[in-house]
Structure 1
Amino acid sequence: MKIIYFISFLLLSHLLHAQVINKQLSVTSAYAIDSNSTWSVVDLKQKNFHSFKQNDKVNIGYNKYAAVWCAFKIKNTDRSHSVKAWLCFNNNHIDSLTLYDNQIVKTIGDRTDGQSPFIETLAFELDLKPGEEKQFLVRVKKQTSFLDFSYSIENTAFLASKSSQRTALVAFFIGIVFLLLMINSILFLMTRNRLYIYYIIYSVLTVFYAAITTNFAKHILFPQFKFFSECRVYTGALWYIALSYFLNYFLKLSENQPKKYKFINLLNALNFSFVLTSILFLIFYKDFDFRYFFILGYIVFLMSIVTLFWASVTHLKIEKTQAIYALLAFLPQFIWGACLILKTFEIIPKSLSDNWMVFIGLYEVFLFGYVLSRNYIEIFLKNNELMQQVIFEKESSIKAISEVQLRERRNIANIIHDNVGSKIAHVIHLFDLKNTRLAQQTIKELAEDIRDISHKILPKALDDGALVSSLHSQILSLNAGLEGTKIELFSYDFPEKIDVDWIYDLYLIALEIINNSIKHGKSKLIIIEFYKYEKQYHFQFTDDGVGFDVMATHKGFGLENIEKRINYYGGNFEISSIKNQGTVIQIDIPGIN
């Protein structure tokens, strides 16, 4: 390996200048591109090297067979102290980095068993004695992808600090995401809403992509796995497809913007087909040129980003809150994706770092997790409020029924006490006087009174469905006992007998309305009209009483109870009234088809 020193000396003798990293180290560097990866160390002395400095980007674009050789000459200018530093390469997804240092050969990278000590970067340790100068060669190789990299010289404390920060950041990100996944899994099991499934799939792929992109998966989780470069590309594509489906469902694009919805789905289908096809070619045709797959994939990816962003902006006119959430979450993604694509095609010199991917992913997943959880809480509270209303309505109905029963019982008790009770006492008194003839006559009168009471409570004819005749009979009795008030009943095409469950309730409702018109409305004329139409029965009650302001006056217990009973049969109850102009009540009940 001594030849390396000779070759390095020849190669570096023509470099433009040395880059001073700090007071202790000076560095000169150069690179050459081996287009077919066929060079050996001995061949390098005949090759043309180009100088580059620390943090200068070497970008060879799409690469299939090429390797890049880098030559370094590093000198410790301090003649009193040794220097320990690290030669770092800023692309964590290089397949292999091979360092040639005299008799020492070290290899690290995605496709090797060797692993960098730091998650932050791919780094080789340098140990220079006072005044010592060393030459190194590094071979950079990445297959079937775009390749760029730069180098820097860093100290251990800096790299350890940066790596600890990245490890903690990614671990925190993964922990938060899995917490949100657990919450949204529970919400899915409770609601069966597909939106939560889309969110879960999108979040899981976000974790995978962030873990691979930040080197967390290679450095911490699966150091022996050798296909992270491919996994990064495919996971990124699937991750964005999942995000597209999530936003489609979140914004309800299929209903609100069907054309954009279909176009986005078409782009997702194209991206997915690219993924499947490239995997097949990668397995069975390893020499296939994937350049056009990458280019087409990036173009489709960019079109999808622009369309989704456009759809989110358009959605502001449809559902402002959801659109704002989508834009807030999607804008960083849009910027990051656009920068990545523009940088890949060398339109801009630099894209956002991998750490930005973690921040953006955490921000998006957390924001959508919060939005979905908050939406569920709002729905839960609304449902709880509705349940409380239902419970209140049931309690009110029970109370109404109890009050009706109590009032009817009081009426029956009053009739029995005032009429039946007094006559029974009179009969007993007549028997005590041994006036049998008058007692028998009184008993006959009592029997007639009991029949009248029974008929008033619920006529026997109702059992046969004779609603009109039953009510007509009761109205005749009422008119006979009223002074200054007249009740009239008319029926139009209404059947003499009707076999429906609601005739008993309607009979009692009619008496309730009559009682209200007389007692509260002080009516002189009450007109009742029964109609039979093809699909419904219509009942109208009109009086010329004092009326009331419907908007300002509570319906009261009686009218509320009537409305509930009508609603129970699927009917409709309407009341209109004007002060000093009377009241009109209309009831519609569906007919039997």
Structure 2
Amino acid sequence: MILKNPLFAVDTLSQWNRNDIKTKKFQSFDLKKGIDIGYNKNNAVWCTLKIKNLDNINTQSKWICLNNNDLDSISLFDNNTIKTLGDRTRNISPFIEAQAFEVTLKPNQEKVLLFRIKKIVSFAKFNFYLEDESALIQKSNHKIALLSFSLGIVFLVILFNFHLYYFSRDKIYLCYNLYATVTIIYLMISTHFAKNIFFNNFLYFSELRIYSAAIWMIVLTLFVTTFLGVKQTQSKKYNIIILLNTINLILISITVFLLLINKNEWLKPFFYIGYINFTIIFFFILMNASQNLKNNRNSAIYVLAAFIPHIVWGTVNIFSSFKIIGYSTPHNSLIYICFYEILMFGYILTQNYISTFQRNNELNREIILEKEKTLQTITNTQIRERRNISNIIHDNFGSKIAHILQLIQLKNNDLAKNNIEKLASDIREISHTILPKSLDEGALISSLESQIPSWNLNLKNTSIEIFSYDFPEKIQEKWIFDMYLISLEIINNALRHGQPTSVIIELYAYSKHYLFQFTDDGKGFDPQVIAKGFGLENIEKRVLFYKGTLDINSSKNNGTILQICIPKI
């Protein structure tokens, strides 16, 4: 069988009937290129085709197909028989691959077929071709199998990512699952899988296809921008993308309203604005991914590898709709692109989770080692301090007490009294060194100042200084003892790890909070690489207990600034 003499005419008001066709002027079209009437406002296209059986002996049956599954209605007038298919009908094609009508011709028979094609709102482009039933069955089965397999894999990936979110609490996995779910919905609608398999009687798949595509693109761009960290690294571009997506959501709402009030002629500018917005968003995402090649190379490469096929597909379809180019994407390309994209991002997120898990394990091991070292240091320090106290009591106090007893026996009371007073002074000094008595009165500044001379005396190349700005001499706060011990611990950490030449302590009092700043010019460290040790972890817990905050600003070879902010009660 062959098709020949293709003719078409456009009924701009959709008012013609079958009897009017004889009086209308038709024009020919190329069966290789098909018919493209551009943006359509409730037009109907009438087509006539001659079909001839070239076999002189056998009766033949063929299926005449249209390559556009998105048409609202297609009516075939074959003598007195009328067959109808399309999105706005309850009739479905026997094949998910194409809208197809069976035509049977006797040997050497020729007949003229009349079609009426309707697309209420959107771009109207279609073509006719002949296909064997076996080929249509094979293509449809292949498409159903491909879709079913893809959907099954995607569901497994979604479940796996919920598992990853449960353990990591990283919202990127929820964003991915939202994107994957919307992709599944869009694929089922755009490939006629939903209509042919599940919802035969639903009459608004044409509109649903457009809106699901728009929402799918919005979710995709939000996922990609979250994955790239655009909000944190390039806030201006992120705000532009959010603004454009917000405009697209508003456009969707407006077009739905216009459809409800049957103002189809007003829809065209909103379609164009939506296409332009998505093109700009694509451009920004590609630009951001390219710029991230320096800072976040792996993520940028992954996004470019996953997103470029989608960009190409979307750009080709947009340009084709505007008739800038005459090429359109292959029929099943969207399925392959979406499936590839979902699997690619699923693989990337899984790899990121594994890398993060391994890095956390390594950090945990380092923290455990640091805790063990710190506990050992604390134990050694306690033993050393207890030994010092024991030596002071035995060597100093013990000998002095024995001397005082000897003086009492010799009845030299005046000298004994002098020695007792001196012994009492030594005991007060040692007690003040361990925990200054002035802390009981809230004198934090004087308590710290009392320790500085002994520190500086034992340090060769380092000086410690303390300054206060509007900080009260005496302060009655619950945290006064903790803050004293925290200050000692921070200074000891700076001296032990930073090897500074200068350590400065600054105390500030503001209307609503107190600020403690510790600055050293030591070696510094990278807080993103080196986890908080046991000492800093304990300091942070004690600060948080008083609803305060701990901030650390440090980098290699640039010293460290540690700030503690505690609110006033």
Task: Tell me, yes or no, if structure 1 residue 198 matches structure 2 residue 140.
Answer: no
2:44 aligned to which of 48, 64, 67:
67
- List runs of 5+ in structure 2 lacking aligned partners: 397-405, 411-418, 470-484, 510-569
Contact 1:173 1:362 in 2 (8 A): yes
What SS is found at the alignment partner of 2:332? Answer: helix
The one-letter amino acid paired with 1:87 is I
SS at match of 1:143: strand
Match of 1:520 in 2: none
1:208 lines up with 2:185 in the alignment: yes
Percentage of matched positions with identical amino acids: 36
2:158 matched to 1:237? no
Amino acid corresponding to residue 194 of structure 2 in structure 1: A
Change (3 A) 1:251 1:527: closer
Give TM-score scaled by structure 1 length.
Answer: 0.68
Q: Which residue number in structure 1 is paired with residue 130 of structure 2? A: 153
Deviations 1:514-544 (A, max 9, x none): 8xx9xxxxxxxx9998865438xxxxxxxxx
Partner of residue 336, structure 1: 313
Shift of 1:203: 2.2
Aligned residue type for 1:26: I
CA positional deviation for 1:114? 0.8
CA distance in 1, matches of 2:201, 2:255: 24
Among candidates 366, 381, 389, match of residue 389 of structure 1: 366
Question: How much has 1:161 moved relative to structure 2?
Answer: 1.5
After superposition, give the CA deviation of every residue in 1:175-196 in whole Å (9 maximum; x if it has no partner): 2322232233344444444433
Q: Which of 92, 98, 103 is 2:80 aligned to?
A: 103
Q: Following the alignment from structure 1 to structure 2, what is the Cα–Cα distance between the partners of residues 230 and 241?
A: 17
How far, CA to CA, are the matches of 1:33 and 1:289 in structure 2? Answer: 24
CA contact (8 A) 1:30 1:49 kept: no
Q: Is the aligned partner of 1:347 residue 2:324? A: yes
Which has the larger Rg?
Answer: 1
Of 369, 380, 387, which aligns to 2:357?
380
- Mapped to 1, the partners of 2:486 and 2:28 lie a distance apart of 93
Q: Specify the alignment match of 1:473 in structure 2.
A: none
Residue 139 of structure 1: CA displacement? 1.7
How far 1:231 sits from its partner (Å)? Answer: 0.8
Shift of the alpha carbon at 1:278? Answer: 0.6
User: Structure 1 residues 503, 572: closer, same or farther in 2, change over 3 A?
Assistant: farther
Among candidates 457, 465, 480, match of residue 436 of structure 2:
465
> Which amino acid in 1 is paired with 2:2?
S
2:97 pairs with 1:120: yes
User: What is residue 30 of structure 1 aligned with on the other side?
Assistant: 6
Bigger mean CA offset, 403-412 vs 43-52: 403-412
Counterpart CA distance in 2 for 1:584 and 1:323 is 40
2:59–2:107 CA contact under 8 A, matched in 1? yes
How far did 1:115 drift?
Answer: 0.6
Residue 88 of structure 1 aligns to a residue whose secondary structure is: strand
Instruction: Provide the C-alpha distance between the structure 1 equivalents of 2:20 and 2:169, rounded to a whole number of angstroms.
Output: 65
CA distance in 1, matches of 2:55, 2:462: 115
Q: C-alpha separation between the residues in 1 aligned to 2:333 and 2:50?
A: 33
Q: How does 1:450-529 map to 2 (within 5 A)?
A: 459-460=430-431, 462=433, 465=436
SS state at 2:494 partner: strand
2:114 maps to amino acid? L
The answer as to whether partners of 1:208 and 1:235 remain within 8 angstroms in 2 is: yes
Going from structure 1 to structure 2, the CA distance change for 1:321 and 1:461 (only over 3 Å counts) comes to closer
Residue type of the alignment partner of 2:363: L
Distance change in 2, residues 1:408/1:34 (3 Å): closer
State the alpha-carbon separation in 1 of the partners of residues 431 and 21 from structure 2. Answer: 117
RMSD: 4.7
Deviation string, structure 1 residues 246-287 (Cα, Å, up to 9, x no partner): 233333333433333333233222222211101001012345
What amino acid is the match of 2:335? Answer: V
Pairwise CA distance, 1:117: 0.9
Over 3 Å counting, the alpha-carbon distance change for 1:239 and 1:415 in structure 2 is closer
CA 566–230 in structure 1, closer or farther in 2 if over 3 Å, else same: same
Which of 76, 81, 88 pairs up with 2:58?
A: 81
Distance of 1:117 and 1:124 partners within structure 2: 9
Residue 542 of structure 1: aligned partner:
none
Q: Which residue of 2 aligns with 1:427?
A: none
SS at match of 2:97: coil
Q: 1:584 to 1:302 in 2, by over 3 A?
A: closer
- Which residue identity does 1:230 align to in structure 2? E
Q: Tell whether the 8 Å contact from 2:96 to 2:196 is kept in structure 1 after alignment.
A: yes
Map Cα deviations across residues 295-320 of structure 1 (whole Å, 9 max, x no partner): 23222332332333233333334433
Is 1:368 the equivalent of 2:368? no
- In 1, the alpha carbon distance for the partners of 2:247 and 2:432 equals 76
1:326 is matched with 303
* One-letter amino acid of the structure 1 residue matched with residue 252 of structure 2: V
Write the distance in 1 (CA, Å) between the matches of 2:7 and 2:26: 5
Indicate if the aligned counterparts of 2:463 and 2:502 stay in contact, CA closer than 8 A.
no
**Do the aligned residues in 2 keep the contact of 1:566 with 1:573 (CA within 8 Å)?**
no
CA deviation vs aligned residue, 1:392-420 (integer Å, no higher than 9, x gap): 2222233334455667788999999999x
Q: TM-score normalised to the size of structure 2?
A: 0.71
Structure 1's 569 and 80: CA in aligned 2 closer, same or farther, altered over 3 A?
A: same
Say if 1:78 and 1:210 are closer, same or farther in 2 by CA, change over 3 A.
Answer: same
Aligned-partner Cα distance in 2 for 1:149–1:464: 89
Return the alpha-carbon distance in structure 2 between the equivalents of residues 351 and 162 of structure 1. Answer: 20
SS of 1:534's partner is strand
What is the rounded CA distance, in whole Å, between the counterparts of 1:200 and 1:345 in structure 2? 33
Q: Alpha carbons of 1:527 and 1:363: their partners in 2 closer, same or farther (altered >3 Å)?
A: closer
- Counterparts of 1:584 and 1:342, CA distance in 2: 64
2:392 and 2:250 mapped to 1: Cα distance? 87
Code of the residue aligned with 1:49 in structure 2: it is F
2:18 corresponds, among 41, 47, 52, to 41
1:590 positional shift: 6.9
Deviation at 1:500, TM superposition (A): 6.9
What SS does the aligned partner of 2:75 have?
strand
Q: Give 2:353's aligned amino acid.
A: Y
Gaps of 5+ in 1: 1-24, 420-436, 442-447, 468-494, 518-525, 536-563, 578-582
1:584 and 1:204, CA in 2 relative to 1: closer, same or farther beyond 3 A? closer
Aligned CA distance change for structure 1 residues 132 and 584 (closer, same or farther; 3 Å): closer
Deviations 1:185-215 (A, max 9, x none): 3444444444333333322222222222222
**Contact preservation (8 Å) 2:73, 2:118:** yes
Return 237-246 or 526-535, whichever deviates more. 526-535
CA contact (8 A) 1:575 1:585 kept: no
| Contact residue 290 and residue 300 of structure 2 kept, 8 A | yes
